[in-house]
Amino acid sequence: MVHTFGISKLPTPMPNATTDIFCSDIGHFTLPKNNCIQVSNRVVSSEFVFAGQFCDSACLAEIEGAKSYAAQLHDNTNQDIDQLILRMTNLETRQKTYDAILERVVNLEYDLVNNITKLEKRISDDVAYVFTEIDAVRARVSTLESNEIADDFAFGDLSFQVSNLEKNLKGNTTQLSNQISNEIIGLNTVLSDYIASVNRDLNSRIDKVQASIPSTSPGNPTPFPPTTQVGSAMDVYYNLTRRIDNLEFGKISNLSADNNIWRQNFRVVNATFEKLKKNNYFPTGK
């Protein structure tokens, strides 16, 4: 804004002004030196003449402020333009992203329609299959209902046969148990008789061997008995040992009472044999 102080026309220049004021170039005006004018009894340099109007220092300050504001406005406008360009770039990027998302949505909708169509086809096929199975089950139920009387009769006959089998099984089990018990009792008797017979025979032979051994006196070593007697006693011992081993690894292993009897008799025979061996009744190496 230009301040004119109410003057619409420039006054006549005063080339002979008493005050020497340096006049310089202002804007597109070129004024000579000392080209000054008189305003309100003041001598003012012609440099204050701007755009055909008088302007003092306050007016010029206002003009400078306007120029500064215009420059700031220009800078702000440039910043706004930069911001608008940035926003436009972002909007273009967002538009591209939106277009890509929209394309994906369209593809998903297309896939969804296809999947729904396939699913409807599968559901239709499954429903048809289920109805077919229901019809088949109904037919089977009808057949079973028509044969219900015959099935009941067959079930009753089967129950009767099972009952007879249970009775026969119980009878056979009892008979087999009794037979096994009798066999065990008979085996116990036979083994007991055999053990007693072997024990008596062994004691008799040991007595004969001891009777055939001559008496000894101090300083006179005990002679060896005849080889036949020694061999006979050893044969009896080893035969008895072998028979006891065979019986212990046979059926007698399950008969605890008779097994204890066998072990007791064996300990008696073995103690007698060890006693004979200790008294040098058997040759070395036998």
* Tokens of residue 81, six digits: 């333009």
Alpha-carbon gap, residue 222 to 278, rounded angstroms: 12
Query: Which residue type is seen at 202?
Result: L
Is residue 13 a part of any domain in this protein?
Answer: yes
**Neighbour count for residue 242 (Cβ, 10 Å):** 10
* Tokens of residue 94, six digits: 């967002």
Q: Which domain holds residue 48?
A: 1-55
Is residue 141 a part of any domain in this protein?
Answer: no
Is residue 80 a part of any domain in this protein?
Answer: no
Instruction: Please list the alpha-helical segments (H only) found in the chain.
Output: 57-146, 148-212, 227-248, 256-278
**CB 27, CB 63: distance < 8 Å:** no
Is residue 265 a part of any domain in this protein?
Answer: no
132-165 pLDDT, tens digit each: 888 888 888 777 777 766 666 666 666 777 777 7
Domain count, the chain: 1
The residue with tokens 């008779």 is 258
Is residue 33 a part of any domain in this protein?
Answer: yes
Is residue 264 a part of any domain in this protein?
Answer: no
Q: What's the pLDDT score for residue 64?
A: 75
* Tokens of residue 123, six digits: 């559901």
Is residue 244 a part of any domain in this protein?
Answer: no
**CB 17, CB 4: distance < 8 Å:** no
27-43 pLDDT, tens digit each: 333 334 344 443 443 44
pTM of the model: 0.25
Is residue 91 a part of any domain in this protein?
Answer: no
The ranges of the chain with pLDDT < 70 are: 1-60, 62-63, 148-158, 172, 186, 188, 209-210, 212-286
Distance set, CA 84 to CA 77, 79, 80, 89, 127 (Å): 10, 8, 6, 8, 61
Q: What's the pLDDT score for residue 24?
A: 35
